[in-house]
Structure 1
Amino acid sequence: MISIKSTENLTGARISGDFWDFEELVHAIHHITTLDELQCPYEGARIRILSVSYDIRLAAQGKHNIEFVMNGMHKDIIKSQNVIVPEQNVYLSVEVLWPELLFAIIALNKFFRLQQDHNNYHEWNLHMTTIRKFQANIIDCLKDSMNPNDFKLFTNMLQVHQTSIADYAVQYIDLLNLKFIEMTPEERQMNLLSFAYKIAYEDTEYLILKKQLLETANITKSPIHKMKLPLKYPKEIEW
């Protein structure tokens, strides 16, 4: 079962699960973000979410963290069944920055609606329910990471706001990630909601960045999501 918990310094969240949990989630993300003829305007958002999916896939391959968790087996069960079995399971995990996860949960909401509207996916579709569970895990984690008033505002925003992710300037998420890394744990907790609103409501900073990217894209004839900013992430992040 997928588990999501905030990291020690609230820099991001740690996504944990076994190999099959991660495989199921990766397949669901690929499925829900594939829109066929509608793909082009949403390609930037799709690639951004798939980058999170790629980190999860690497974790499934054991290239991030390995944990050991109790699996419910104890001496009485082992004795009564007369078997030799491990009392722990191997879990894998990976850390993802909070702005990245906030974008993922907001954008996945839009992909969910697009699949329902254009491909007639019903709410019991297996991939759709896997995505909803992933979102629910993130939201449950945020409940413990935000103050109660901020959490209520965040969940209300998810329910009523129809986020547009068409031709989204995904480079903005890099800017938010780097800003978030520079904050103290206390500042991160206070600003989780504001970062979510920045992503969902396209604030002034976002609009200025997108305008600059579009001007460059018009000259280079490149899709906006392929434009690169001269940004560098730190080699080590204090999670």
Structure 2
Amino acid sequence: MISIKSTENLTGARISGDFWDFEELVHALHHITTLDDLQSSYEGVCIRVLGVCYDIRLAAQGKHNIEFVKNGMQKDIIKSQNVIVPEQNVYLSVEVLWPELLFTTIALNELYRLQQEHNNGHGWNLHMTTIRKFQANVIDCLKNSMDPSDFKLFINMLQVHQTSIVEYAVQYIDLLNLKFIEMAPEERQANLLTFAYKIAFEDTEYLVLKKQLLETASITKSPIHKMKIPLKYPKEIKW
């Protein structure tokens, strides 16, 4: 079962699960980012979500972290069944920066709705159920990472959020990621809600960046999500 916990310094969250948990989530993320006729309008958002998916796939291949988790097999059970079995399972994990994970969670809400409306998706689809469970895990993690009053506001924001992510300037998430990395741990906790609002409601900083990107895109004739901005992530992140 997938579990999500904030990292020690609240820089991001650690997504953990076994190989099959990650395989299920990877397939679900690929499913929900396939939008047929709407693909071009949401291409940047889908690519961004698939970036998180790629990290999860790498984790499934053992290229990030490996953990050992108790599997519930107790000595009396082993003795009564007269078998030799391990008492721990191998779990895999990967860290994702909080702004990135907040964006993914918010974006999945709209991608879920689009699947239902345009691709005849329904709530009983296994992939769609996996997506909702993943979002629920993120939100449960936030409940333990946010001030209770902030968490209530965050849940309300998810319920009323109506700003579309069509042709979203995904480069803005890189800016937020880098700002979040530079913060002290106590600042990160205090600003989780602020960053969620920045992503969901297109603040002034976002609108200025998107205007600049659109102006460049009109000259180069390239899609907005392919515009490059000079940003550099640190080689090591203190999770």
- What TM-score comes out, normalization by structure 1 length? 0.99
User: What residue in structure 2 maps to residue 232 of structure 1?
Assistant: 232
Deviation at 1:161, TM superposition (A): 1.0
Letter paired with 2:23: E
2: CA distance between counterparts of 1:177 and 1:4? 18
User: What residue in structure 2 maps to residue 97 of structure 1?
Assistant: 97
User: What residue in structure 2 maps to residue 20 of structure 1?
Assistant: 20
2: CA distance between counterparts of 1:163 and 1:127? 25
Say whether the 8 Å CA contact 1:110–1:163 is kept in structure 2: no
User: What residue in structure 2 maps to residue 141 of structure 1?
Assistant: 141
RMSD after superposition: 0.5
Q: Per the alignment, in what secondary structure is the counterpart of residue 39 of structure 1?
A: helix
Say whether the 8 Å CA contact 1:107–1:163 is kept in structure 2: no
2: CA distance between counterparts of 1:135 and 1:80? 39
User: What residue in structure 2 maps to residue 84 of structure 1?
Assistant: 84
Say whether the 8 Å CA contact 1:213–1:224 is kept in structure 2: yes
User: What residue in structure 1 maps to residue 65 of structure 2?
Assistant: 65
Identity %, equivalent residues: 86
2: CA distance between counterparts of 1:12 and 1:117? 32
- Relative to structure 2, which stretch is displaced further, 86-95 or 121-130? 121-130
User: What residue in structure 2 maps to residue 119 of structure 1?
Assistant: 119
Letter paired with 2:181: I
In structure 2, runs of 5+ residues without a counterpart are: none
Deviation digits for residues 216-235 of structure 1 (CA, Å, limit 9, x no counterpart): 00111110000111100000
Letter paired with 2:204: T
User: What residue in structure 2 maps to residue 177 of structure 1?
Assistant: 177
Following superposition of structure 1 onto structure 2, how do residues 142-161 of structure 1 map, counting pairs within 5 Å?
Answer: 142-161=142-161
Letter paired with 1:41: S
User: What residue in structure 1 maps to residue 217 of structure 2?
Assistant: 217
2: CA distance between counterparts of 1:163 and 1:76? 55
Moved over 3 A (4+): none
Deviation at 1:46, TM superposition (A): 0.2
Q: Per the alignment, in what secondary structure is the counterpart of residue 66 of structure 2?
A: strand
Q: Per the alignment, in what secondary structure is the counterpart of residue 69 of structure 1?
A: strand
1: CA distance between counterparts of 2:163 and 2:71? 40
- Relative to structure 2, which stretch is displaced further, 120-129 or 133-142? 120-129
Say whether the 8 Å CA contact 1:68–1:91 is kept in structure 2: yes
- What TM-score comes out, normalization by structure 2 length? 0.99
Deviation at 1:163, TM superposition (A): 3.2
User: What residue in structure 1 maps to residue 163 of structure 2?
Assistant: 163
2: CA distance between counterparts of 1:74 and 1:123? 37
User: What residue in structure 1 maps to residue 199 of structure 2?
Assistant: 199
1: CA distance between counterparts of 2:196 and 2:164? 14
Q: Per the alignment, in what secondary structure is the counterpart of residue 54 of structure 2?
A: helix
